[in-house]
Structure 1
Amino acid sequence: MRQLFDFDEIRPFYDEEIPDIIRSLTKEEKFRHALKFVVPDVDAFCRQMEECTTKREFQKRLAIPVLNDLARRSTSGVDASGLENLSPSGNYTYMSNHRDIVLDASFLNMMLDAHGFETSEVAIGDNLLVYPWISDLVRVNKSVIVNRNVPRRRMLEVSRRLSNYINFAIKIKHQSLWIAQREGRSKNSEDQTQESVIKMLNLGGGSDMRTNIMGLNIVPVSISYEYDPCDYLKAKEYQMKRDNPDYKKQPQDDLFSMETGISGYKGHIHFYLSPVINGELEKLEDCCEKSDVLHCITHIIDKAIHSNYMIYSGNYVAYDELYHTDRFSRNYSTEEKRRFMDYMQKQLDKIDLPQKDEAFLLERMLEMYSNPLKNKLIATGVDL
C-alpha cells in the first residue's frame, strides 16, 4: 500500500528497490572495507547480499546472523524479558533508553526475531549517515531517517513529516518502529524522555495529545549493558566540553564511537519490554490537568524504563564508590569490586588528553554506571 504523504527521503526502501540498491552497495569499496570488521569473507557475503530481493530476506539471511555472531564475540549473552506483555501480531512503537549508536535497536530486533516477532523499523539520525552508502545500507535494513541538521524555519515541517510517517507505519502499514527516548545517547546514563520527542509524535495525530499517543502503542524498553565500550569516550567528551565550552564533535567522532561500540566487549545485555502504556494513559484525564499531559506521558515512560533495568555488580560498586558508602556491599564480592575497578582503570588509560583530569574522568564514568541503579531506586519507591 502506498501512502498519501511524500516520505521518499526518509522511508526504508521498498522491496522492489532492494536489488538495485544492493548491487550498488556491493560495488562500494568503503562498504566492502567496513565489512572486513564484521564478516570473515567479504566476497561471499556480498554474493549472498545480491541474492536478497526483500528487506526481510536481507535481515533473515544476513543481518540477524551477523548480529548473533557479534553477540557471541563481544558479549557474555544477550537476552530479553517482558515479551509476554505483547502480541507477535501487534504493532508497537518501541521507545528505549539509548546507550549504543548502532546496537540498541539492532540487538532489540535480534531479540524480537528470536521470539517470533516481526523486526521493527528503526529511527536513525542523519548525523550518523556520513557517507551515502551508510544511508543506503540502513534503509535496506528497515531504517527511517531522522533529519536533525535542518534550518530552524524547516524544523516543524521536518518533524511533522517524521510524525506522519511513524503514524503511517503503525496504523496503516502495521509495522512496528523503534525510537530512542531522546535525541542522541545519554552520556551519563541519566535516561530521561525528552518532551520534544513526544511533541513530535503528537504532530501526526488530531487535537488530543493523549489520544494521539495512545494510537502509537508505545512500549517502553529498558536496555541494560553490563559494560559500555564507549564509556571512556563519553568521559573524554565531558572533559573536552568542560575545558572548551565551544567544543563540537566531528563526524569522525561518531564513526569511531560506532566502531568502538560494535567491536568492544559489552558483558551481558538485557532488554525488558514493558506493557503498552495505554492503560496508564487512560488514567491521565483524572490525574492531571491538560497542560500537564505532556509531562505525565514522559513520566510514565521514564518510570517504566527505570523500574526495569537489570542491575549488575558493577552498578552497585560504582554507586558505593561515587557516593563513598558501603550501602550495596552485600550485592558484590571483593573479587567483583576489584574486577570492576580494574576495568575502570583500563578504560581511563585509553583516554589521551593533554591535561588529563583523571579524578574528574573517573567520577564521570562512575556516574554512568551508578545512575541506572539510582534511577531504579527512585522509580521503585526506594528511599535514597
Structure 2
Amino acid sequence: MKMPAEFDEIRPYSPEELPQVFEELIADPNFRAVTESIIPDVPFEMLAQKIRQCKTNLDFQKTFFYGLLWKNVKEHADGMDIDCSSITDRSVSYTFISNHRDIILDSAFLSVLLIDNNFDTVEIAIGDNLLIYPWIKKLVRINKSFIVKRGLSIRQKLEASTLMSRYMHFAINHKHENIWIAQRQGRAKDSDDRTQESVLKMMTMGGEGTISERLMDLNIMPLSISYEYDPCDYLKAKEMQQKRDNPDFVKSPEDDLLNMKTGLFGYKGKIHFHTAPCVNSFIRDIDPSVSKNEIFTILAEKIDKDIHSCYRIFAGNYIAYDLLKGGNRFEDKYSSQEKENFLSYIDAQIAKVDLSEKDYDFLKEKMLIMYANPLINHLVAIE
C-alpha cells in the first residue's frame, strides 16, 4: 500500500522506517536515561537489541508497552477491565471517541485491553504540545500515534484539521487501523465530559459524500473511561485556582510534563473501559431535513449520552455527590469507612497543592465536583 506523501509529517512511522528510527532513539542519551529509570533491572544494550528485533509497530507495542502498562496497573491501580461486547463486527475498523482522563494512559490502556480481547491496537491522536522532546515525538510515532498540531493561526488550523481528517479516513479505510481520539481538546478539568462539535466537524473535512456519510465512514464508537481515582485531581484543582486568581494564567510545558508523570505513577484505584455500540445506525436515522450544524449537535449529544451511561460509578462518586448536595441520597452505596477513607484521600491530595495562597475550601469543592460529575451525568443519561 502506497502512503500518500501529504501525511508524512503527522502519521505513525511505517514498518520500513522503523530500523532507522530505532537507531536514532537508541543513540539519544535522553531516551536512554528515561529507559534505564523505567526498566532499571535490564541492561540498556539488551533492551536496544530487543528494540532492533521488532519488525512492526505492533511488535514494538507488544514487546515493550504491553508489559510495562500491565506492570503500571499492578503497581498503581487496583485492576483494570473492559466491556467491549458492543463490538460485534470484527471485520470493521473503528474510531473510538472517548472522554479523556489521563494524557498518556487512556489510549495506551485501551490498546492493551484490545490486545487481550484479540483486537488490533489503536492509532492515537496526540497533540504536538505534549511532544516536548525529539525522542518523545519519535516514540509516539512508533507507538502508532498521529500528530494533532496545536497553536496555529486560523488558516493553518483549518489546513491542519483538513489534513488530519483525510488521514483518519485513510487509516480506517485503507490501512484498516482502529483510531482513538478524545471527545475534546484536552481533559475536562471538572470531569463534566462533553463532546466538542468541532471534533466532529473536523472528522467531516475528509472523506466523500454527505456530512452523514463522512461520519459513518469512520465507524464512530463511543468509549467510556472510568478511573476510581484521578492522580491529577489536585493538579487540576490547583490550575482552577490559578486561573481564578489570574485569568491570564497558562500552563507551561513543565506543567504538562508533571501531569504526565503524575498520571503515570499516581494511584488510580479501579479502572474500567466500556464501549457503546457504533453510532452509524443512529446517524443513518437522523432526519435528512436538519441542517449540517444540527447533525453535529445531535450526534454530540448522542455520544455524550452513550459515554455517560457506560460510566462505572464508584463509592467516591456517590460520596462526593452527597457531600456536594448536602444530603444522603446515596448513603446505601458506601460505608462509613469508605466515606472516611475518601475524605482522607481528598485532604491528602489538597495537601500536595503548592500554592502560597492556597484556598482549601475552593480546592475541596472543585475536587468534589470532579468526582460527583460522572454520577450526575450518568443519572441523566440512564433516566
Tell me the TM-score normalised to structure 2 length: 0.97
Residue 77 of structure 1 corresponds to which residue in structure 2?
79
Bigger shift: residues 47-56 or 79-88: 79-88
1:368 alignment partner AA: M
Q: Which runs of 5+ in 1 are unaligned?
A: none
Q: Deviations over 1:318-372 (max 9, x none)?
A: 1111111111111000011111111111000000111100000001100110000
Residue 259 of structure 2 corresponds to which residue in structure 1?
257
- Matches of residues 1-384 of structure 1 in structure 2 within 5 Å? 1-4=1-4, 6-40=6-40, 41=42, 43=44, 44-206=46-208, 208-285=210-287, 288-381=290-383
Residues 294 and 238 of structure 1, relative CA distance in 2, 3 Å threshold: same
Bigger shift: residues 43-52 or 342-351: 43-52
Residues 313 and 153 of structure 1, relative CA distance in 2, 3 Å threshold: same
Q: Deviations over 1:245-272 (max 9, x none)?
A: 1101100110110011001110110000
RMSD of equivalent CA atoms: 1.4
2:280 alignment partner AA: N
Question: May I ask how many residue pairs the two structures share in their alignment?
Answer: 381
Q: Which runs of 5+ in 2 are unaligned?
A: none
Bigger shift: residues 284-293 or 29-38: 284-293
Q: Hey, what's the Cα distance between the residues in 2 that align with 1:37 and 1:115?
A: 30
Bigger shift: residues 147-156 or 158-167: 147-156
Residues 299 and 42 of structure 1, relative CA distance in 2, 3 Å threshold: farther
SS in structure 2 at match of 1:23: helix
Q: Hey, what's the Cα distance between the residues in 1 that align with 2:37 and 2:262?
A: 11
1:110 alignment partner AA: V
Q: Hey, what's the Cα distance between the residues in 2 that align with 1:139 and 1:266?
A: 26
SS in structure 1 at match of 2:12: coil
- State the identity %: 46
1:112 alignment partner AA: L
1:121–1:142 contact (8 Å) kept in structure 2: yes
Q: Give the CA deviation at 1:83.
A: 3.2
Q: Hey, what's the Cα distance between the residues in 2 that align with 1:289 and 1:101?
A: 34
1:91–1:217 contact (8 Å) kept in structure 2: yes
**Structure 1 outlier segments of 4+, above 6 Å:** none
Bigger shift: residues 203-212 or 360-369: 203-212
SS in structure 1 at match of 2:192: coil
SS in structure 2 at match of 1:19: helix
Q: Deviations over 1:28-55 (max 9, x none)?
A: 1211222244323251333311221221
